[in-house]
Structure 1
Amino acid sequence: MSLTELFIIAVGLSMDAFAVSVCKGLAMPRMNWKGAFIVGLYFGGFQAAMPLFGYFLGSRFSMAIKAYDHWIAFILLALIGAGMIKESLEKDAECADASLGVREMVLLSVATSIDALAVGVTFAFLDVDIVPAVSFIGAVTFTLSMVGVKVGNVFGYRYKSKAELTGGLILILMGIKILLEHLGL
C-alpha cells in the first residue's frame, strides 16, 4: 500500500474523530489548545490502537481466506463508509459537551475508532506493514482532531456532517480500488 493510499485511508478514518472534535470545539466557550491536544491524543491514540488490534485478529485467519480477502476488504470498507454517510445525513445528530473527562473521552474514542478495527483486519489481508501504518493513522487523526476543535470553536456545527460524508465516500472509494486491483481491472 502506497503512502498516498495510506494517507487517504487515514483521512477517511479520522473524519468521525474530526466531527466529534468539531463538536468539542463548538462546546468550548473559548479555544483551549490544551483541550485540543487532549482530544487529539485520545482520538489519535485510539485510531492507532484499533487497527493494530484488527490487524492481529485478521492475521490469525488471513491465510485461510486469502482467495476472498479483496472481497472482504471491499465489503468492510463499503459498510463502514456507508455507515458514515448515513450518519452525516441524519438531521438529529447531537454534539458532545466540552467535558474532557477520562470516561467520556474513552467512550468517544472507542466509538469513533471501531471502524479502524475493521480496517486493521483489512490491512492483515493486504499484508500492510502495520507499525508505520498505525503510526501514520494515529498522527493524521491527532492532527485533524486538534484542527477540528479549532474549526468547531471558530465556525461551529456546519462542518460536522460534511466531514462524516467525506470520510464515508473516501472509505468506499478505497474499498472499490482494492477490489478492482485484485480483480485485475
Structure 2
Amino acid sequence: MTPIALLALAAGLSVDAFAAATAKGARLRRITLTSAIGIGLMFGAMEALTPVIGWALGRVLQGLVVEVDHWIAFGLLVAVGGHMAIRAIRELRAPPAPEADTAEPVVRRGWGGMALTALATSIDAAAVGVSLAFVDVNIVLAAVMIGLVTAIMATLGVLIGKTAGERLGSRAELAGGLVLIAIGAIILHSHLTAGPPLL
C-alpha cells in the first residue's frame, strides 16, 4: 500500500472522530486550544490502536482464508464505508436541531467519557485493521499515520465546530465512507485482475 493510499485510508477513518469532535465543539460555549488538542490526542490514540488489534486478528485468520482474503478486505471496507455514508446521509436529511441553550461551558464529560466517545468512533477502524492484514502494508506506519491524521482532524473539528456546526461533520463522514468503499474496490480489482497493486 502506497503512502498516498495510506493517507487516503487515514483520512477516511478520521472522519468519524472529526464528526464527533465537531458536534462536541458546536455544543461548547468556550473552547480552549489546550482542550481541543487534548480531545484530538484522545481520538488519535484510540484510532491508532484499534486497527492494530484488527490487523493482529486478521493475521491469525489469514492462513485460513488466503483464497478469499481480497473479498474479505473488500467486504469489510465496503461495510464500514457504507455504514458511515448511510449514517451521514440520515443525519444530513434530518431536520436541524432547535438552537436551545444547551451549550456546555466546558468539557464536562471528563476524560473518561471522552475516551468512551473516542473508542466508539474507532470501532470501525478495527474492522478496517482486519482488512489491512490481507494487503501489503506496514501496520506500524499505518497506525501512526491513522492516529496522527485523526488527532489533527479531531482537534480541528473541536475548534471549528462552534462556527461550522454539526452538519460539516456529517458531510465529511459521507466523503470518508465513499473513500473507504473506493479503496476496497481498488484492492478487489488488483487481486481479480492479477495486475500490479494500485494501492
Shared fold (TM-score greater than 0.5)? Answer: yes
Which entry has the higher C-alpha Rg, 1 or 2?
Answer: 2
* Structure 1 gap segments, 5+ residues each: none
The structure with the largest helix share of the pair is 1
Q: With structure 1 as the length reference, what TM-score do the two structures score?
A: 0.93
Distance apart, 1:100 and its partner CA: 4.7
CA distance in 1, matches of 2:156, 2:170: 16
Q: How far does residue 158 in structure 1 lie from its aligned partner after superposition?
A: 2.7
TM-score normalized by the length of structure 2: 0.87
Over the aligned positions, Cα root-mean-square deviation in angstroms equals: 2.0
Aligned residues: 185
Shift in Å at residue 154 of structure 1? 2.4
Could you tell me whether the CA contact under 8 Å between 1:43 and 1:142 is conserved in 2? yes
Given the alignment of the two structures, is residue 139 of structure 1 paired with residue 148 of structure 2, yes or no?
yes
Tell me which amino acid in the other structure corresponds to 1:136: M
Residue 13 of structure 1 corresponds to which residue in structure 2?
A: 13
* Correspondence 1:103 to 2:112: yes
Gap change, CA 1:10 and 1:113, over 3 Å in 2: same
1:35 touches 1:100 (CA, 8 Å); kept in 2?
A: no
Tell me whether 1:173 sits opposite 2:182 in the alignment: yes
Amino acid at match of 1:123: L
| Aligned mates of 2:144, 2:158 — CA distance in 1 | 21
Q: Give the drift of 1:50.
A: 0.1
Conserved? CA contact 2:80–2:128, under 8 Å:
no
Paired position in structure 2 for 1:69: 69
Q: Is the 8 A contact 1:46 1:113 kept in 2?
A: yes
Deviations 1:116-162 (A, max 9, x none): 10111111111411111100100000001111111202222230210
- Equivalence for 1:51: 51
How many Å apart are 1:42 and its aligned residue?
1.0
Q: Cα deviation per residue 1:31-90 (whole Å; 9 max; x = unaligned)?
A: 311111111111100000000101111111112211111100110000101110111122
Question: What CA distance in whole angstroms lies between the structure 1 residues aligned with 2:32 and 2:125?
Answer: 28
> Residue 122 in 1 paired to residue 137 in 2?
no
Moved over 6 A (4+): none
